C-alpha cells in the first residue's frame, strides 16, 4: 500500500484525479484484508479526491468509514483528517453548520493530542470553510465551530455516523 502513495500524490498534484482514485482503490484492496493499520489515512485521501471529482456521496462514505476505523484503532490523528475531509464534503453540500461543527471538532481533537492539522488539509479546506463563513456569517460560524470543538471524540464519531439530511 505504501508504494502506491507516491504515484498517487503525483497523479493528484497534476490534477489526474481518476488515476489518483484508481491508485487509492488499489491501495485499499491491498490494505483492507491486512487489518486497519493505515486504512483511515487512505480513506481520507479517497474522500478528498472524491470531493474534487464532485462525487460527494462517495467522499462521505469514505470519510465516515475512515472516522469509524480511526476511532476503533484509537488513531486520533487520522480521525482529525477524516473529520476535515467530511467538513469539506458538508460545505460542498451546503450543510454549513455541520461543516463548521466538524471542522471545530477536528481542530479541537488535533489540539488535544498535540498534532496540529497538517498544512495540506488546511489549504484544501480553506476555500470551503471561507465559503461557509461568508454564507452564515462570522457569529454563526464561530458558534457551530465552538460546538464542534467542545465535543468529545466519542460524541463526534456518533454525530458523524448519524445520518443527517
Checking if the pLDDT of 141 tops 80, the result is yes
Predicted local distance difference test score (pLDDT) of residue 91: 97
pLDDT, tens digit (0-9, with 9 covering 90-100), for 4-30: 454 455 445 556 788 888 888 888 888
DSSP label of 61: H
Computed over every residue of the chain, the mean pLDDT equals: 88
How far apart are the C-alpha atoms of 1 and 10, rounded to whole Å?
Answer: 15
pLDDT, tens digit (0-9, with 9 covering 90-100), for 29-85: 887 777 777 899 999 999 999 999 999 999 999 999 999 999 999 999 999 999 999
Would the pTM count as exceeding 0.95? Answer: no
Angle between helical axes of 17-31 and 2-13 (0-180°, round to 10): 170
Got the DSSP string for 31-55?
HGGG-STTHHHHHHHHHHHHHHTT-
Amino acid at each position: 500500500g505504501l508504494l502506491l502513495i507516491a504515484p498517487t500524490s503525483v497523479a493528484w498534484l497534476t490534477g489526474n484525479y481518476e488515476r489518483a482514485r484508481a491508485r487509492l482503490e488499489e491501495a485499499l484492496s491491498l490494505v483492507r484484508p491486512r487489518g486497519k493499520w493505515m486504512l483511515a489515512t487512505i480513506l481520507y485521501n479517497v474522500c478528498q479526491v472524491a470531493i474534487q471529482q464532485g462525487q460527494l456521496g462517495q467522499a462521505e462514505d469514505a470519510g465516515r468509514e475512515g472516522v469509524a476505523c480511526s476511532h476503533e484503532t484509537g488513531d486520533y490523528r487520522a480521525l482529525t483528517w477524516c473529520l476535515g475531509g467530511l467538513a469539506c464534503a458538508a460545505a460542498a453540500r451546503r450543510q454549513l453548520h455541520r461543516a463548521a461543527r466538524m471542522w471545530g471538532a477536528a481542530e479541537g481533537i488535533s489540539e488535544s493530542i498535540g498534532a496540529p492539522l497538517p498544512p495540506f488539509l488546511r489549504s484544501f479546506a480553506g476555500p470551503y470553510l471561507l465559503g461557509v463563513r461568508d454564507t452564515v456569517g462570522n457569529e454563526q460560524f464561530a458558534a457551530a465551530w465552538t460546538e464542534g470543538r467542545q465535543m468529545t471524540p466519542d460524541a463526534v464519531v456518533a454525530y458523524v455516523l448519524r445520518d443527517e439530511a
